[in-house]
Amino acid sequence: MWTFIQDQILGMKWLNALIEQLLLMVGLNVDSRIGGSIQFFIYDTMKITVLLCVLIFLISYIQSFFPPERSRKIMGRFHGIGANIIGALLGTVTPFCSCSSIPIFMGFTSAGLPLGVTFSFLISSPMVDLGSLVLLTSIFGVKIAVTYVVLGLVIAVLGGTLIENLHMEDQIADFIRNNNSKVDIESPNLTVKDRLIYSRDQVASTFKKVFPYILIGVAIGAVIHNWIPEGWVETVLGDNNPFGVILATLVGIPMYADIFGTIPIAEALLAKGALLGTILSFMMAVTTLSLPSLIMLKKAIKPKLLGTFIAICTAGIIIVGYGFNAIAYLLV
């Protein structure tokens, strides 16, 4: 039953077979590079788009119960590492990309929440969400997806805890630290209809922002899948290169995408022989440390704290990558 759910419902392999038949009917050979690329592009675009819209709707409905002011109240009840865990978990039901998470991070920080808690939230929000769990399950299987999510939360909790212990509160931008507006706003009592409307609007808004990156990611994946020789990928990102994880992490940092845009690239790299941990390090780097998000974050925190944040995340992602490579045989 689970195999059916993973392959046919989440993976939509029936859709891939249908697209193959349609392409054959119009005389296109799907075994050729061009035909294979077209099949990959249509299938992955349609699959990710459907999953994206369904997931955003469901997650937005859940998120409607956790507006920023209520989330702040929840996190304010916890202390120590427990608060960091709650901050990281709340990040799983918030925006899908790092740039969207930064304004919420700024609001939490100005509201007086501990710095480590807000950074646990900032790390987990783009890296780990309920959508990533479902999408990764559709491609890699449930064991890999769950392991990815758990390790992402571990990075968020440990990273936030380390930043908290460094006592770098003075590294927050002055306009945030001096904002003493801590008005306790009660959450509105939304009806089911209100929540459904909110979820629908979130689907439309997020889809407009994310869809271009899905197209780019799928196009890159199609090229990797059908045009780049397998030997090249294995040489650079396979077990023959001990620095593959570091290279994948450093290459991923300047890029900008979210989990939905990186999935097709990861899928194609895995098919070409790249190591699992190396691929997941690339995904984590792209989603957590994208260049646009770092530029935005620079306006909220000072260079010393920004550098510390980048160093902690980079080190954590690299460690996770090598760890995944070491235990991949247990998960595949």
The reported pLDDT for the residue numbered 21 is 94
Ramachandran sector of residue 225 (left: φ over 0; alpha: ψ -120 to 50; beta: rest): alpha
The reported pLDDT for the residue numbered 182 is 46
Residue 277 token pair: 């941990």
The reported pLDDT for the residue numbered 296 is 77
Please give the mean pLDDT across all residues of the chain. Answer: 83
The reported pLDDT for the residue numbered 68 is 67
Q: Are 87 and 118 in contact (CB under 8 A)?
A: yes
What distance in Å separates the CA atoms of residue 292 and residue 272, rounded to the nearest whole number? 29
How far, CA to CA in Å, does 120 sit from each of 68, 223, 243?
A: 15, 36, 28
Angle (deg, nearest 10), helices 192-226 and 33-63: 160
The reported pLDDT for the residue numbered 197 is 93
Average pLDDT, consecutive stretches of 10 residues, N- to C-terminus, the chain (332 residues) = 76 90 92 91 89 82 75 75 88 66 79 86 81 78 86 91 90 75 54 90 83 85 83 81 90 71 83 88 83 80 91 90 86 70
What distance in Å separates the CA atoms of residue 324 and residue 120, rounded to the nearest whole number? 22
pLDDT in tens, 110-120: 777 888 898 99
What distance in Å separates the CA atoms of residue 289 and residue 279, rounded to the nearest whole number? 15
pLDDT in tens, 123-149: 888 778 777 778 788 778 888 888 888
pTM of the predicted structure, to 2 decimals: 0.74
Q: Are 95 and 209 in contact (CB under 8 A)?
A: no
The reported pLDDT for the residue numbered 102 is 79
What distance in Å separates the CA atoms of residue 318 and residue 249, rounded to the nearest whole number? 7
The CA angle 326-252-176, to the nearest 5 degrees, is: 115
